[in-house]
Amino acid sequence: MFGYYLDLALRSLKRNKVLTALMVLAIAVGIGACMTTFTVLHVLSGDPLPGRSSALYYPQIDPQDASGMMPGTMPPLQVTLIDGMNLLRARRADRQALMTGGAVPIHPDSSSLDPFYVEARYTTADFFAMFEAPFLYGHGWTGADDEAHARDVVITRKLDEKLFKGADSTGRTLRVGGSTFRIVGVLDSWRPNPHFYDLTTGSYNYYDEVFIPLQTALELHYDHNGSNDCWGNGTGGAGGIYPSATCVWLQYWVELDTPAKAAAYTQYLVHYSEEQKALGRFERSPNVRLDNLMQWLDYNGVVPSDVRLQAWLALGFLLVCLVNTVGLMLAKFLRRSGELSVRRALGASKRALFAQLLTESAVVGLAGGVGGLLLALLGLWLVRHRSSDYAALAHLDPVMLLATFALAIGASLLAGILPAWRASKVAPALQLKSN
């Protein structure tokens, strides 16, 4: 029966090509605009670590002085070096990582390459396992290497290809600044978006190429290019290179695989704050926060507000296109009252006519989906040529490809319900008599 309805739909659409083209165009334009903005929103609001994000948490505590203290004030977004090391060494989580970012000079052994700077991550041993960073060669360093200030380094596949032409470089040396490091691992392609573990260096299209043990980087006074927030007499510490003890400037992440562990860790942060206040370091009452990865991204407003606004505007535009499509379908179906009355007189039920006309609406939606897909691809191409940091991520994935056609067909069926119902309700006797 569906094949028969499909044949009738194609014949009907061919009879009035102009009206058909207008309906397809209305659907295509609405779908194209909608899917362009929805795809960008989908990419930017996606989970950077599917299956892992619910077990990763970002602890926040408040070590600031009492000046400017107001009820409801949120704790700082980062931690001091003292607090970070205290929390790290307490090992109250399944895994934990303390880190910050910087830029370091690389001095290649090859005379054909000039020295160059790369983005670096100064972190601790659990970083790689906690965030499931995939290794192409080798592995990360150990906790013992952290404490020993080891001269170990992990590099990315891209840097390995640049320096060693993609060969297994584990065990080889790498000159970083004025120091020599041993390469212990090479990460495979890994560029989580957003750059969740350090939002101070950029949310999207940012990646580190060298990973160095945190305490080694501090000992060598490598550059720090992240943000910091100081209070009191906070000035440069560690020889004027790094922020002082009254500055928050490092990121701290923990892994807690059950809600019970997360609740217990929150209590630990409260007790730690109370202890530090008793010691005279903290002046404020305990002010802690523990968000999982997705909550942390939402708290920081990682998805730009203009992208959300554009998505709502595009949805409104699609509704306008649907209203126009409803009017066009209503005009088309009612002009066929005579034909439909003959079918009714020959025994076709109202339900059969309704199904026939909805099939025709679905065909219009499918054609509109193809047009909408082409317009969405054009829209995403234009987005990729913008100067925003997320522009390069605007690509249509299989999920959004299926969503395009599902939305197009669903929208056209929705638009066709009223016209199909009205047309199937036409009294055949009146139509046949007038004809």
Give average pLDDT by consecutive 10-residue segment, the chain, 435 residues: 60 72 85 86 84 94 82 88 96 96 90 89 96 96 95 96 94 93 95 87 80 95 86 56 85 96 97 94 92 93 81 86 81 66 62 74 81 86 76 76 81 76 61 48
- Write down the pLDDT at residue 35: 87
- Write down the pLDDT at residue 413: 78
Q: Cis omega (within 30 of 0) on the bond before 304?
A: no
Q: List, in sequence order, every residue forming a beta bridge with 254; answer none if it has no partner.
A: 57, 96
Tell me how far apart the alpha carbons of residues 255 and 130 are, in angstroms, rounded to a whole number. 7
Give Cα separations from 266 to 71, 177, 185, 199, 272 (angstroms).
20, 40, 34, 22, 10
- Write down the pLDDT at residue 12: 62
- Write down the pLDDT at residue 237: 42
The sign of the CA dihedral 27, 30, 36, 38 is negative
- Write down the pLDDT at residue 431: 46
- Write down the pLDDT at residue 3: 65
- Write down the pLDDT at residue 267: 97
Tell me how far apart the alpha carbons of residues 302 and 311 are, in angstroms, rounded to a whole number. 16
Cβ atoms < 10 Å from Cβ of 350: 14
Rg, Å, the chain Cα set: 31
Contact 124, 146 (CB under 8 A): yes
